[in-house]
A and B are shown apart, each in its own frame.
Chain A
Amino acid sequence: MRCSPGQLLRAHCSSWTRNGNGRWSAAHRRLAVIAAAAACTVTLAGCVTPAFNTSSYRQKTQESASEMAGLVGTARLAASAYLQGKLYSATADTIVSDAENDAGDIVTQWTSVQPPTAQAENIMSKAQTLLSDTSDQLTALRIAVRKGDRQQIGSLLTKLGPAIPKLKKLAAAG
């Protein structure tokens, strides 16, 4: 038998005790399973929670910048190793593509957080260009690696170099 959410809720409110034979009702058990599954999904998915004040927004920005710096570092290492003939193009492409995808996720998640105060908006305007530009440069690097365009890879490595200290500075200061 299937229960609607309304039926489950009524069952939940009317009898939060065991029934006559000392067992939990089927509705209770289903409700518990649904609640546990929902809790697990939300917790394990690592969903982005809203920022309620400037400090929390700053912290999210710092975390995003720190993760982005790590991704740029990984992508630069892979691209350099490819240029030095230490990585196959397929392997370099996979590593740089993974970094690019993760960078895109970071930017999407960070921009989805509403800045709660005017101060937080200032932080956003300072960080947005750096995070988005870095993500775009990783996309350009992936394209160059996939094409095997060594000159373009070299040029992008030079461009991405200064991004790491800037991102680290943002991660430290917010």
Chain B
Amino acid sequence: MSPLKLALGVMTAIGGFVDIGNLVTSGITGARFGMALTWAIILGTVGMTVYGEMAGRVAAVGGRAVFHSVRERLGPRVGLVNLTSSFVLSLLTLSAEIGGVALVLQLATGINYLLWVPLVGLFVWLVIYRAPFMLIENVFGMMGLGLIIFIIALFKLPVDWHGLWVGATHPWVPSSEPHSTYWFYAVSLYGACLVPYQVLFFSSGGREESWTTKSIPQMRMNAVVGFPLGGLLSIAIMASMIPIYSSLNVNVSHLGQIALPVAASVGLVGLIFALIGFFAATFAAAAEAALSAGYAVAQFFGWTWGKMHEPRAAAQFHVVCLASIIAATGFILTTIDPITVTLVSVVLGAVAIPLTYFPVLVVANDEEYMGKWVNGRLSNVLGSVFLVIMVLASVVTLPLLFITKAGH
């Protein structure tokens, strides 16, 4: 495998890891809690890496994407519950991402985001319908690297590095915040890293690119190097909020506030990079969430799916993608705040995470499918530990959502 291809895959994974959920939750928590919730990003990123690698291996060796496994292992009835929750979540995520792209365009042009929403929906559909899979994955993934500007901004801002380190290594609840709010945002950060559509897209993308066992080293590099570096970007976004907002007690609730520390420290060039990064991250995630909605339904019902087929040959798959985009666009046009939709989607995602990830763990342990690529001890220990954490998080998430009034 050429080093260039390897680097491209890793960079795509870095850029593709961050979406509107990571941007919003990292921005809010950085301003409000400092670095006290860094551990939640690390936990979510490690979980995503473990399960992403597993799902990728199942796709490469067993030739099965996630929802094939779901139906096969959970049966049609329980699988349908799983499909419904996953589909609704993908729709919610898609809505949040479309709203996010529109907000970025408002920041760049000053034109109200609601006017951009239908155009964004149309553009997402056109890209899904016409653009090759590699273009969606690579071009937007690479553009998403514009978010590296947040790391550069950290070196230009008056950062108290020792304070950041102490904050990250002493994750206490700030005295000004209730414990319930702290835990709500911990779950939201963790949920933003582990959103089910990402693993669905990662494994289905493996089938789209016809992964075989020869692709496993590349896939592992993407998961083991790319995802953690993506998590590092989330941490950089969180850290860059602190020098600007912590002394002012600012409650970050808009995308513009998240870009402001970069503009204030690096200037216009920094702002341009940040906006390009925001656009690429949200647009790629919108396309991925729409595709994931189509993948989930088509894989569950056994329809022909994927962009490797002509749209005419996978008509049902494309109809589901189109219907999802129309529904998500309509939802954002109701004028519901996209940032609120984002928060709710990552938190509800945390509830549904075990439903998507458990079948992956089961199939990755099946020697019949996986042969010599069956889960090793390390994968199983990590997978089981994370499954327990996922179940615990999913149990406490809804009570936290109501107790804190969605983090207010």
Contacts and interface: CB of A to CB of B under 8 A. Distances in A.
A122 interface: no
Contacts of B212: none
Interface stretch (B8-16, B189-197, B256-264, B299-307): B256-264
Interface string A31-58: 0000000011001101000000000000
Q: Interface residues of A toward B: which range?
A: 20 to 34
Given A91-B271, A94-B106, A74 B264 contact: no
A88 B107 CA distance: 9
A95 B271 contact: no
B107 A43 contact: no
Nearest to B405: A46
Interface stretch (B130-138, B225-233, B245-253, B364-372): B245-253
A127 interface: no
B260 A66 contact: no
A86 interface: yes
B244 interface: yes
A143 to B, nearest CB: 14
Contact of B268 (A43, A46, A73, A87): A87
A45 to B, nearest CB: 8
Given A77-B244, A87-B271, A94 B110 contact: yes
B264 A86 contact: yes
Contact of A44 (B109, B250, B263, B344): B344
B401 interface: yes
A85 interface: yes
A70 B264 contact: no
A58 B107 CA distance: 36
A81 B251 CA distance: 19
B107 A86 contact: no
Contacts of B251: 67, 70
A93 to B, nearest CB: 5
A156 to B, nearest CB: 17
Contacts of A39: 402
B110 A95 contact: no
A69 B251 CA distance: 10
B108 interface: yes
Contacts of B264: 77, 81, 86
A86 B254 CA distance: 19
A95 B406 CA distance: 23
B249 A74 contact: no
B267 interface: yes
A91 B248 contact: no
A69 B245 CA distance: 11
A98 B338 CA distance: 13
B260 A90 contact: no
Give the interface centre of A44, A66, A86 by most chain B CB atoms within 10 Å. A86
A63 to B, nearest CB: 10
Interface in B251-289: 251, 253-254, 256-257, 259-260, 263-264, 267-268, 271, 275
24 contacts: A43-B401, A44-B344, A44-B405, A46-B405, A66-B249, A69-B248, A73-B248, A73-B250, A74-B250, A78-B256, A81-B260, A85-B267, A85-B268, A86-B263, A87-B260, A90-B106, A90-B109, A91-B259, A91-B275, A94-B107, A94-B256, A95-B107, A95-B257, A171-B249
